[in-house]
């Protein structure tokens, strides 16, 4: 998931692929066969020179990303032979509607890519840790925040510190020791998007949870 979000945010949204259609492969369908069909239909596999020529002519260039059975078709600004015809009213602009998957929300704001936790997911985490704020020892929170289930993109760091600050406010009111801010990871891992992380497989990737 971390690699998929990294590829989406850095390799595509940051490079102008702002229009998208997000979907799920039907159960029972051969994923590789669907990949090949979509890549062929939308001209995803063209050379970099062909992409440059399309951009020069004001035509859209497309990309295709899949994680498990979830996929997203991305396009740059411009006309396309079949993309708008196939998905017209269901196509979204990432500047207005974030791409959501795995609790992440990827958008384009203020001229740059923004990777956040989905609002609903953030509220769930906030409620959970505030409920435990005065029940668990400092060591428990240190482990929890160090094993945070999201890579620390800048907006996610800010969301994380909001929760940590609220936890410490509750602990201070109860006369308990604060949780140190050093337990929050500040640097995200740079991963190879199309390979599993060490100790994981493509079928069963897990995040550590305390």
Q: Where are the domains of the chain?
A: 2-116, 118-183
At 210, the pLDDT band (50, 70, 90 cuts) reads very low
Say yes or no to pLDDT of 48 above 80. yes
Kindly list the strands in the beta sheet with 92-93, ordered across the sheet, starting from the edge strand earlier in the chain: 62-67, 70-75, 19-24, 92-93
Q: Give the per-residue pLDDT at 196.
A: 58
Whole-prediction pTM value? Answer: 0.84
At 33, the pLDDT band (50, 70, 90 cuts) reads very high
Q: What confidence tens digit (pLDDT) does each residue in 147-203 have?
A: 999 999 999 999 999 999 999 999 999 999 999 999 999 998 887 776 655 554 443
18 closest CA partner among 70, 127, 92: 92
Q: What confidence tens digit (pLDDT) does each residue in 75-133 have?
A: 999 999 999 999 999 999 999 999 999 999 999 999 999 999 999 999 999 999 999 99
DSSP state of 77: S
Q: Is the dihedral of CA 102, 110, 192, 73 positive or negative?
A: positive
CA distances for 41 relative to 38, 179, 190, angstroms? 5, 53, 32
């Amino acid at each position: 998931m971390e690699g998929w979000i990294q590829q989406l945010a850095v390799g595509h949204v940051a490079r102008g692929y702002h229009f998208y259609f997000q979907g799920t492969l039907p159960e029972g369908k051969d994923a590789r066969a669907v990949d090949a069909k979509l890549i062929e239909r939308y001209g995803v596999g063209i050379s970099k020179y062909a992409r440059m020529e399309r951009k020069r002519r004001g035509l859209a260039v497309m990309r295709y990303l899949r994680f498990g059975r979830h996929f997203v078709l991305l396009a740059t600004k411009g006309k396309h032979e079949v993309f708008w015809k196939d998905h017209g009213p269901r196509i979204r602009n990432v500047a207005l509607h974030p791409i959501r998957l795995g609790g992440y929300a990827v958008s384009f704001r203020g001229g740059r890519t923004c990777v956040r936790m989905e609002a609903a997911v953030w509220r769930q985490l906030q409620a959970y840790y505030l409920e435990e704020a005065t029940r668990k020892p400092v060591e428990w929170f240190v482990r929890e925040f160090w094993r945070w289930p999201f890579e620390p993109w800048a907006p996610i760091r800010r969301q994380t510190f909001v929760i940590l600050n609220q936890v410490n406010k509750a602990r201070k009111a109860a006369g308990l020791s604060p949780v140190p801010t050093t337990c929050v990871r500040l640097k995200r891992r740079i991963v190879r998007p199309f390979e599993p992380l060490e100790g994981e497989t493509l079928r069963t990737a897990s995040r550590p949870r305390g």
